[in-house]
Amino acid sequence: MHSRKPVYALVIVGALITAALTFFPYTLTVVEQASRRVAGAVERRLPGGDVPPPNADAVEPPPATLPRFDVSLWYSSRGEEPEKQGVLVESWDGRQVYASHNADTQFNPASLVKLATTLFALRRLGADHRFETHVYADGAVDPKTKTLQGSLYLVGDDPSFTDYGAVLVAQELKARGIEHVRDRILATPNFSFNFNEKPDVSAKYTADVMKLGQKETGAAEASAGAELFTVYSNPLREILLYMNAHSVNFVADRIGEKLGGPAATVQFLVEELKLPPEEVYLETNSGLYTNRMTPRGIVTVVRALAEEAARHGMKLEDLLAVARCDHGTLRRRMEGTGYECAVVGKTGTLTTTDGGMSNLAGVVYTRDAGTVLFAVLAQGTRIWEHKQMADQLLAEVVRDHAAAPLSEPTAPRRSLLPSASLRAEPQMYTRKIEVEKTEREKAEEDDDAAEAAESAARKEKGKATTAKSASKREEAKRNEPKSKPQSGARVKKAVASKGEKATRRRRR
C-alpha cells in the first residue's frame, strides 16, 4: 500500500504542472496589459506626458450613409438612358450621400473645367492679382496740335481688356496732352480686346473706341519708345466671377496659358487634390473639345474651391453665379423649384462633342443640412430638356431640406466686372470713366426690362381678372334685390289668382 504513494504524488504533481502551463500564457497577457495601463497612467502624470487615450488612432469616422434616392430609376422613368448620366450629391463633409450614380465614371465635363481653372488660378496668382496693359509712345508730343508725332503701342496679357480699358487709355492720354496719333496704333502678340485673340484685330477695335485719328492699326512683335503708364485690370476674383457666370472660354484659356496650360492643371489636380491620374484628362482650360473628369472629381474641386475662397476672405458666390439671381448661364436655372437663389454653381454645355453634354455643378445652401455639394452630368443632344431635368433632379434629391436663398429673385442683379475697379498708374485722369454701354450690357438690361415688363403684365392681368370678377359679383348683387321681389310678387299674384278661382268654384 505504501508502494502506491509515489504514484499518487506523481499524478498530483503532473496535474499541477498541466494547470500551470494552461493558464500561464493568459497570466502573462493579463500582467502585460496591466503593466501597460500602469505605465500609461504614470506617463500621463509626468511633465510633458500628454498621451492620447489607448486606441485613439484606431477610431475611424463613421462611414458615409448610402443614398436613398434611386437616380437610375428616376432617369429610366423619364425615358432616359441611365448609363449616360452621372450624379453625385453629398453633404459638405461627405458623410451623407443624398444621391450617387456613375459617380466614378468619366464624362466630358465641358465648361465645368473652368472650376478647376478657377481654383488653380486662385492658388497660384491670388484673388487680388491684376493683369497689366502697358502703353508706350515712340515720339514727341506737339502741344499745339496735341498730337503724338509717332506711334502708340499696347502691350499686355489682360484677357478682360474691353471698352472700359480702351476709354481709360484714351482719358489718360488726353490728360498727358495726347488727343491724336500721327502714325499707327499697334498691339503686341498677347494683347486682346473684347475677347479677340488676334492682336491686329484687337488694335483696330481698341483704336475705334479711343478715336485718336491714327493712319492705321496693326500688330507688332515688340514695343518701342517710352512707357507712358500702365492700366491695371479688375482683381482676379472679379474676372473669375465674370468668366464663370458667362462661361467665357477665351478668358479661361488665356488664364490657363499663364498657369502652364491644361497639362499643368492636371498635374495640380492630381498632386494637390489627389485626384486619380487615370480619371483626369484635359485638352483645354475652358472645357472646349475633349476633356474627362468624374462626378466625384468635380465635387472634390467644388469643395476645394469653396475652401480656397474662404482662405481669401471670400465665399463661393464671389467666384460663381447664383442661379436665378445673376446674369449669365444660370440666369433662368432652378426656376419654379423652390431653390431659386439658393444654388451657386457652374454650367457646362457642349452641343456636338461626345454627343453633347449638359452639366451643372456647385452647391445648394439649405437651412438644416448646411451646404450640399453636387455634380449632375448628362450626355445627349437634348440640351434644354437635360437642363430642366438637372434642376428638377437636384430639387427632388434635397427636397427634405429647405432652401436658404442668398437673396430674392426680384432683387437687382450684381454688376459683373465693374469698370470702377480699373486703374492706371501713374494716374493723371481723375474723372469717373464714362463709356457707352457694350452690346452685352445692353442685352442684359433689355433682358431685365423684358422680364420686369412680363412680370408687370402678369400682375396687371391678374388685377384685371380680379377686378372683372368683382364687377360681375357687384352687378349680380345689384340685380338680385330687384329680381327677387318681382319674382315673389308674381308668385304671390299667381297663388292669389288660384285661390280666388277655387273659392268661386266652391261657391258654385
Per-residue pLDDT tens, the chain, 508 aa: give them: 455 556 566 656 566 655 554 444 434 443 444 444 444 443 333 333 333 443 444 445 556 666 789 999 999 999 999 999 999 999 999 999 999 999 999 999 999 999 999 999 999 999 999 999 999 999 999 999 999 999 999 999 999 999 999 999 999 999 999 999 999 999 999 999 999 999 999 999 999 999 999 999 999 999 999 999 999 999 999 999 999 999 999 999 999 999 999 999 999 999 999 999 999 999 999 999 999 999 999 999 999 999 999 999 999 999 999 999 999 999 999 999 999 999 999 999 999 999 999 999 999 999 999 999 999 999 999 999 999 999 999 999 999 999 999 999 889 999 999 999 999 999 988 654 445 555 556 666 666 666 666 666 666 666 666 666 666 667 666 665 554 444 444 444 444 454 554 445 444 4
Q: Please, what is the end-to-end C-alpha distance for the chain in angstroms?
A: 155
Residue with cell 485718336: 212
Distance CA 388, CA 158 (A): 36
> Alpha carbon of 27 to those of 20, 35, 118, 421, 424: distances in Å?
10, 12, 63, 78, 83
Is residue 66 in a domain?
no
251 and 199 housed in the same domain? no
Identity of residue 315: K
pLDDT of residue 429: 85
Is residue 80 in a domain?
yes
- Treating both helix axes as pointing N-terminal to C-terminal, what angle do 249-259 and 261-272 enclose, rounded to 10 degrees? 70
Is residue 311 in a domain?
yes
47 upstream amide cis, omega within 30 of 0: no
Q: Is 273 exposed, middle or buried (0-12, 13-18, 19+ CB in 10 A)?
A: middle
Is residue 44 in a domain?
yes
- Do strands 321-322 and 226-232 pair parallel, antiparallel, or not at all (unpaired)? unpaired
- Structurally, the chain folds into a number of domains equal to 3
pTM for the complete prediction?
0.76
pLDDT of residue 478: 63
Name the strand (E) or helix (H) holding 373: strand 371-379
247 and 351 housed in the same domain? yes
- Domain span including residue 350: 71-127+237-405
pLDDT of residue 25: 43
Distance CA 431, CA 166 (A): 15
Is residue 138 in a domain?
yes
How many C-beta neighbours within 10 Å does residue 111 have? Answer: 27
Residue 83, domain CATH:
3.40.710.10
pLDDT of residue 64: 62
120 and 244 housed in the same domain? yes
150 and 106 housed in the same domain? no
343 and 395 housed in the same domain? yes
Is residue 191 in a domain?
yes
CB 278 within 8 A of CB 312: no
Overall size of the chain counted in residues: 508
Buried b (16+ CB within 10 A) or exposed e, 371-410: bbbbbbbbbbeeeeebbbbbbebbbebbeebebbbbbeee
pLDDT of residue 467: 64
pLDDT of residue 68: 80
Beta bridge partners of 349: 358
Is residue 153 in a domain?
yes
Is residue 35 in a domain?
yes
Coil vs helix vs strand at 40: helix
Residue 199, domain CATH:
3.50.80.20
Can you read off the three cell numbers belonging to residue 17? 504542472
Interacting residues of 222 by C-beta distance below 8 A, sequence separation 6+: 188
Angle formed at CA 214 by CA 209 and CA 219, multiple of 5 degrees:
80
